[in-house]
Amino acid sequence: MNRFTVTSGILVALTLLAFALPISAQTGDTVLSLQNSFRKVSADVLPVVVEVDTVNIIERRSFNPFEFFFRFPGTPQQPDSQPFRQEGLGSGVIVERRGNTVYVLTNNHVVDGAEEIEVNLSDGRSFTAELVGGDPLRDLALVSIETREEVPIAKLGNSDNTWVGDWVLAIGNPLGYESTVTAGIISAKGRVTDGQNFTDYLQTDASINRGNSGGALVNLNGEVIGINTFIASNSGGNIGIGFAIPINNARRAIEDFISKGSVDYAWLGVNMGDLTDTLAGQMGLKNQRGAFVYNVYTGSPAMKGDIRPGDLITRMAGEKIEGSDDLSRTVASLEPGTKTPVTLVRNGDDLNVRVTLAVRTIEKEGSKVNVWPGFSAVPVTREIRDQMNLSPNTGNVLIGGVVEGSTASALGLRGGDVIKAINGKTVRNLRHFYALVNSNKRIELKITRQDDDLEFILKK
């Protein structure tokens, strides 16, 4: 028994050793193959990634406390401010050439407000650059240089085909160390950040630091799949959480910059939010996901396409809408003028409508654009009733927030106003509120504010 056990153990060990030798050799070949891939990609891509140096002229006020005492009559007064040259550093990717004009894609925050822009190639050549166009909504910009010399052009990949776990290289000029290459993987896709809902991001653990902004994130085919943009860090240095704009989100921007100097975004025209449990319960939308419409802009594609306050948008242009950020990115990905299908839930029923998207101008027009009804409504829960000391018969719906610049705001409606009736009908719940709001282009709104009953008339 013991002899058999020992013999079996030796046989097993010899068998494992026999298999281990070729596996080890194979592993070594794999490592060398990966190393050779890194070498080739670095050699191919380094020439298309440039350093972008900028100068911003800042007016800095100067004050001489003794000037009053020592300035002689007739001498000119010193200026109140003196120009100060603030230098900046970033990276860029050479993406296109048309004739003698070469275009470099970078981040908007790298060149925003710059009086001087210089592009430095990895081979030592330097060129004065001009800003072609900038897009603060996606943090992209395009600058151009003029040259008859041969200049390498980046190969753009398909960021939609990128998988979590894929090897990537980040190439740029972190902290002024030009032509730096770092390696990592795609840590996540579809990342979103607060205040930025026009794009999602590729997350990577490839080291990214200040100066990498605008540089390339490339796959092992040497294709640019992202533009490195920012990092998440408590210290300001790299901790392995970096983000890049997917190159598919930048392709149309490149063409728009070249053809007209700016990027036109599509506009639907809704004021929306995510579906909460309380909202879902009140509206009969349990187990549903989508973007909940609070307000519709007057004259917008949404209003013309019969999208109403209280609707839950669940699909658009064939894409599933999980929340408000999904809807923002889907609209931003479409061309203005596109006629697109929209699926929504209204009163428990699935409806299909078609809207023709317009050009987004809301940032320019601001308060000139009106919305209907101009405020959000929320149910009066037990907690709210206790906090506001409301009696049981005060009402079941109140105003959550009023849109600045709207008719509702101009009339003096406020957050916390309890909605008692619309067009003479007592508002039973949130679902009933939206049914009444959408029943007429003119509504008579009766509210209670600190035990006072007030009436307002709103028109679309």
Instruction: Please write the tens of the pLDDT for every residue from 155-181.
Output: 999 999 999 999 999 999 999 899 999
Residue 82 lies in a domain: no
Residue 330 lies in a domain: yes
Q: Long-range contacts for 286-292 (Cβ within 8 Å, ≥24 apart)?
A: 288/312, 288/314, 288/345, 289/314, 289/321, 289/322, 289/323, 290/314, 290/321, 290/322, 290/323, 290/344, 290/345, 291/321, 291/323, 291/324, 291/326, 291/327, 292/324
Is the per-residue pLDDT at 24 higher than 70? no
Residue 420 lies in a domain: yes
* Known catalytic residue at 139: yes
* Known catalytic residue at 311: no
Residue ending a domain, choose from 313, 348, 368: 368
Residue 80 lies in a domain: no
Residue ending a domain, choose from 211, 244, 260: 260
Percent of the chain with pLDDT over 70: 87
- 183 band by pLDDT with thresholds 50, 70 and 90: very high
Residue 344 lies in a domain: yes
* Known catalytic residue at 350: no
Residue ending a domain, choose from 193, 227, 260: 260
Domain count, the chain: 3
Residue 306 lies in a domain: yes
Mean pLDDT rounded to a whole number for the chain:
87
pLDDT in tens, 51-101: 999 998 887 655 555 444 444 455 555 555 667 788 899 999 999 999 999
Residue 121 lies in a domain: no
Q: How far apart are CA 216 and CA 226, in angstroms?
A: 6
Residue 430 lies in a domain: yes
Q: Which member of 53, 91, 135, 139 is catalytic?
A: 139
Mean pLDDT of 356-370: 76
Supply the range of the domain harboring residue 444: 373-459
Q: Are 281 and 356 within one domain?
A: yes
Q: Are 270 and 339 within one domain?
A: yes
pLDDT of residue 31: 84
To which residue do tokens 């309380």 refer? 278
- 451 band by pLDDT with thresholds 50, 70 and 90: confident
- What CATH number has the domain bearing residue 193? 2.40.10.10
Sequence-distant (6+) residues with CB within 8 A of 190 are 200, 201
Q: Are 228 and 191 within one domain?
A: yes
pTM: 0.78
Q: Which member of 213, 300, 376, 406 is catalytic?
A: 213
Is the per-residue pLDDT at 458 higher than 60? yes
pLDDT of residue 120: 96
Q: Are 196 and 276 within one domain?
A: no
pLDDT of residue 71: 44
pLDDT of residue 80: 59
pLDDT of residue 158: 96
